């Protein structure tokens, strides 16, 4: 009598090369086909090898051919074998998915040390059978992952993947196979979500009112899309314009005064923030580079900064620099307990101000907040004590440095010289502060739009050898004051020492920062160019000009300090 019977059943490696690392022989027990596999395998296209007694073998009426027909083993699989006598026997495939602790990644990371295009290490998170990361987009997504696993072997497209050595194309999702010492195999999906490197700030004023004043605030909402890199923020604020000459340009800068102190982009909580338009700056990097130089020199209270895209009332305004407002606060210039914050600025537009006796420096009192003109005298007298000593015939052989921090002064002047920020000569946007019972300290650094060779030429990077304090402006108060300080042999010697150390140790870091920052803002810069047509249509040309200028300027300063 004819019978219908399944004789053998195997899953062969040669028929399932992307899934199996060895042949899997099933146990046929009664009407069950028992197969042991590791959990996490991709079972969507499995090809079985089998032998049987009977006239046909089918699944749901579809004929099956050994070593050829593929099926999705994630579904219920029931084989039906017909005998010559018309009788049929059914066999159900049952998969025993076992856990193999070798078939996991203990860690998976893209290290900056092994991938020069990255700005920082990119860590991955584990979710089910996927390894996921979110990071800023790159032009070159050919990267070398570093990982730790107990698996005997790791394959990608059936090619061995070696930690920290094998280059993987992360522009698409990848399936990586882990193979254990027992021969089990597990597929893991490796996915990178590439996002714009630039967070986006959305501002909507009440009634969509246009921001037309730098004196009067408008109420508004602020929604910040951190792009998965920073925390999203949704809050309320007041907003107005800001700046002097910069407020007159087509692309406007803004001042935000949040309704409550808030941490934005991980920075310490505060209410007051600034959006710098950088309209004159075709690179959109000049303020950032100057502030980075200040950070490298450890100048106290140097601002943090984050490049952002800005949309106001549903209109894209371009790429901006988000930074702190220069102010006295526990998370800003922390001198609230009896300290003073002054701004030397020829606009001379604060309510409470004075001009110094000897150099006619325009001194605006930013802090404390005075309420009467009579309160100015004490601040004027304190500053005049310093200036009188600088102006005196006994200078520098007097005690003027008892009233001024020479290290901060020199670091401040190095940043000004490297960036050729000639606004010190006017002076404009030049801050200094004095803690209670402390010395006057230069800073915080501010406003580098007119630097990098721009002043007097109207073109950035026009000359890398023009003196910071040019004799052509020798009648200006700032020129007289700072040139006097630079005539002190003690300041010269300290300047030379600090510059040479910066040139050796920090300048290479600064140039690398330019490259990394340019990559970070490229998409934002391209969008800004479409809107404002500032800079070179090919951003890489602007980046090259900036780096060359910094290099040439550094060589010029070498010559400058050689004469000290």
Q: Is the N-terminal amide bond of 410 cis, ω within 30° of 0? A: no
Residue 353's SS3 state is strand
CB 258 within 8 A of CB 274: no
pLDDT, position 19: 81
Work out the number of other CB atoms within 10 angstroms of the CB of residue 139: 8
- Encode the chain (564 residues) as per-residue pLDDT tens digits: 458 999 999 999 999 887 888 899 999 999 999 998 887 778 899 999 999 999 999 999 999 999 999 999 999 999 999 998 888 999 999 999 888 888 889 999 999 899 987 877 899 999 888 899 888 777 788 999 999 999 999 999 888 999 999 999 998 899 998 988 887 888 899 999 887 779 999 999 999 999 999 999 999 999 999 987 889 999 999 999 999 889 999 999 999 999 999 999 999 999 999 999 999 999 999 999 999 999 999 999 999 999 999 999 999 999 999 999 999 999 999 999 999 999 999 999 999 999 999 999 999 999 999 999 999 999 999 999 999 999 999 999 999 999 999 999 999 999 999 999 999 999 999 999 999 999 999 999 999 999 999 998 999 999 999 999 999 999 999 999 999 999 999 999 999 999 999 999 999 999 999 998 998 899 999 999 999 999 999 999 999 999 999 999 999 999 999 999
| Residue bearing tokens 């909402």 | 221
> In this structure, is the dihedral angle defined by the CA atoms of residues 116, 117, 121 and 123, taken in order, positive or negative?
negative
| Residue bearing tokens 């002097």 | 244
pLDDT, position 127: 87
**For residues 51 and 54, what is the distance between their CA atoms, to the nearest angstrom?**
10
- The 3-class secondary structure across 378-438, one letter per residue, is HHHHHHHHHHHHHHCCCCCCCCHHHCECHHHHHHHHHHHHHCCCHHHHCCCCEEEEECCCC
- pTM equals 0.74
CB 411 within 8 A of CB 388: no
In the numeric block, which tokens belong to residue 365? 């009192």
Residue 545's SS3 state is helix
pLDDT, position 158: 80
Residue count (the chain): 564
CB 41 within 8 A of CB 187: yes
pLDDT, position 2: 55
In the numeric block, which tokens belong to residue 329? 């606060």
In the numeric block, which tokens belong to residue 411? 């670091």
In the numeric block, which tokens belong to residue 558? 């070498």
505 Cβ contact partners less than 8 Å away, ≥ 6 residues apart: none
430 Cβ contact partners less than 8 Å away, ≥ 6 residues apart: 343, 344, 345, 423, 424, 442, 446, 478
């Amino acid at each position: 009598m004819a019978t219908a019977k399944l004789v053998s059943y195997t899953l062969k490696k040669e028929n399932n090369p992307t899934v199996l690392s060895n042949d899997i022989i099933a146990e046929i027990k009664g009407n069950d086909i028992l197969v042991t596999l590791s959990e996490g395998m991709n079972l969507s296209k499995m090809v079985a090898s089998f032998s049987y007694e009977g006239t046909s073998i089918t699944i749901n009426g579809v004929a099956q051919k050994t070593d050829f027909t593929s099926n999705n083993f994630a579904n219920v699989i029931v084989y039906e074998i017909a005998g010559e006598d018309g009788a049929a026997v059914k066999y159900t495939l049952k998969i025993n998915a076992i856990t193999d602790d070798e078939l996991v990644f203990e860690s998976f990371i893209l290290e900056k040390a092994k991938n020069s295009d990255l700005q920082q290490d990119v860590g991955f998170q584990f979710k089910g059978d996927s390894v996921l990361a979110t990071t800023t987009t790159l032009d070159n997504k050919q990267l070398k992952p570093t990982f730790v696993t107990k698996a005997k072997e790791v394959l990608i497209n059936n090619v061995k993947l070696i930690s920290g050595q094998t280059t993987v194309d992360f522009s698409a999702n990848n399936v990586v196979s882990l193979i254990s010492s027992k021969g089990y195999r597990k597929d893991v999906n490796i996915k990178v979500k590439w996002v714009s490197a630039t967070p986006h700030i959305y501002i909507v004023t009440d009634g969509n009112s246009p921001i037309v004043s730098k004196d009067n605030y408008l109420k508004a909402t602020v929604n910040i899309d951190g792009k998965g890199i920073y925390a999203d923020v949704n809050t309320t604020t007041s907003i107005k314009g800001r700046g002097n000459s910069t407020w007159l340009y087509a692309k406007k800068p803004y001042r935000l005064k949040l309704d409550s102190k808030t941490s934005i982009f991980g920075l310490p909580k505060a209410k007051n923030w600034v959006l710098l338009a950088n309209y004159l700056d075709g690179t959109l990097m000049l303020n950032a580079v100057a502030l980075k130089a200040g950070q490298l020199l450890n100048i106290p209270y140097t601002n943090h900064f984050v490049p952002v895209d800005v949309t106001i009332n549903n209109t894209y305004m371009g790429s901006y620099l988000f930074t702190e407002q220069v102010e006295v606060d526990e998370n800003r210039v922390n001198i609230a307990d009896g300290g003073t914050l002054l701004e030397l600025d020829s606009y001379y537009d604060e309510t409470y101000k004075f001009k110094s006796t000897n150099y006619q420096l325009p001194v605006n009192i930013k802090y404390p907040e005075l309420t009467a003109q009579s309160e100015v005298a004490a601040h004027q007298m304190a500053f005049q004590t310093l200036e009188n000593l600088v102006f005196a015939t006994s200078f520098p052989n007097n005690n003027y440095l008892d009233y001024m921090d020479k290290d901060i002064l020199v670091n401040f002047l190095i940043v000004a010289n490297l960036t050729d920020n000639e606004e010190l000569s006017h002076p404009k946007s030049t801050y200094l502060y004095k803690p209670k019972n402390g010395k006057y300290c230069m800073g915080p650094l501010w406003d580098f739009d007119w630097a990098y060779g721009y002043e007097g030429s109207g073109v950035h990077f026009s000359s890398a050898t023009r003196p910071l304090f040019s004799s052509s402006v020798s009648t200006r108060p700032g020129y007289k004051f700072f040139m006097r300080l630079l005539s002190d042999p003690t300041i010269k010697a300290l300047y030379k020492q600090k510059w040479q150390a910066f040139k050796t140790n920090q300048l290479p870091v600064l140039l690398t920062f330019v490259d990394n920052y340019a990559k970070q803002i490229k998409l934002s810069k391209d969008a800004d160019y479409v809107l404002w047509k500032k800079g070179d249509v090919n951003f890489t040309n602007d980046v090259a000009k900036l780096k060359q200028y910094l290099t040439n300027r550094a060589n010029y300063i070498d010559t400058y300090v050689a004469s000290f």
